[in-house]
Structures are given as structure tokens and as C-alpha cells.
Amino acid sequence: MIYYRSRRPDLDESLILDVLEGFAYGNDRQVEWKDVRRGLTDKREPRVEILVELVPAGDDWRVLAGQ
């Protein structure tokens, strides 16, 4: 979830993937699925809420995502 300061968003989620390299994963090319949502603006506390989950080897992320 990305909560922007205004209705004119200026943060691209690809930057967030780059920042997480080395912390949540080795390279953002390892990200198989992302569900990016924009929340209502929050002028007092703009933020990004991130959930990173490991998909076990052999599992199909499309099944886990209900697709």
C-alpha cells in the first residue's frame, strides 16, 4: 500500500523494489508477483506498507494468489 501526501502521486513502486534489494531479496528480478495499491492520501503520515512473502520452490504463485 502506498499512502501519498497528495492526490498527485510522485512515487513509482519500481523505486521501492530497488530500495529493497539486498534486504528482502537479492535482486528485484526475483519478484514474481506484486499487488500495488494506492490508499487514500495521508497528508500527516505518507508511507509505504510492504509485505514480502517467500513462495516455496515448486509452488505456483498464481495459485497462491487465487488467479
Virtual CA dihedral for 66, 20, 45, 6, nearest 10 degrees?
-80
Mean pLDDT of 48-66: 72
Gap between the Cα atoms of 35 and 16, Å rounded? 13
Report whether pLDDT(12) > 60: yes
Residue 1's closest CA among 52, 66, 51, 67? 51
Per the CB < 8 A criterion, the answer to whether 47 and 38 are in contact is no
Confidence at residue 18, expressed as pLDDT on a 0 to 100 scale: 92
Q: What percent of the chain lies above the pLDDT cut of 90? A: 3
pLDDT at 24: 87
Digit-coded pLDDT (tens) for 20-46: 998 888 898 888 888 888 877 778 888
